[in-house]
Amino acid sequence: MSAGRRKAKGIPLWIHGWFALDAVLALTPPLHWVVTGDARVLGVPAAIFYFVVVALVICASLVAAYSTEVAEGSFEQ
């Protein structure tokens, strides 16, 4: 069984890894943008772009975890 398929308490390890990445992304915003001045990404201020991307990644991880649980039948009665 590969490391990506092993489970810890019924949750695949890749979900744990994704949530760990979410925590790192959410808790360590790029403070160098504040120090260096106005940075833009795709025409949007970098800070706004960062928070939108982080929100999308966190939402995607929740959807992936839910989908995994549904596929395993965890919500069936």
Q: What are the residue ranges spanned by the domains of the chain?
A: 21-71
Dist CA 69 CA 63 (whole Å): 10
20-76 confidence digits (pLDDT tens)? 888 887 777 766 666 666 677 788 887 788 888 889 988 998 898 888 888 877 666
Q: According to the model, what pLDDT value does residue 56 have?
A: 92
At residue 44, what are phi and psi to the nearest 5 degrees? Answer: -110, 145
Q: According to the model, what pLDDT value does residue 59 have?
A: 92
Dist CA 50 CA 55 (whole Å): 9
Residue with the bigger pLDDT between 49 and 7: it is: 49
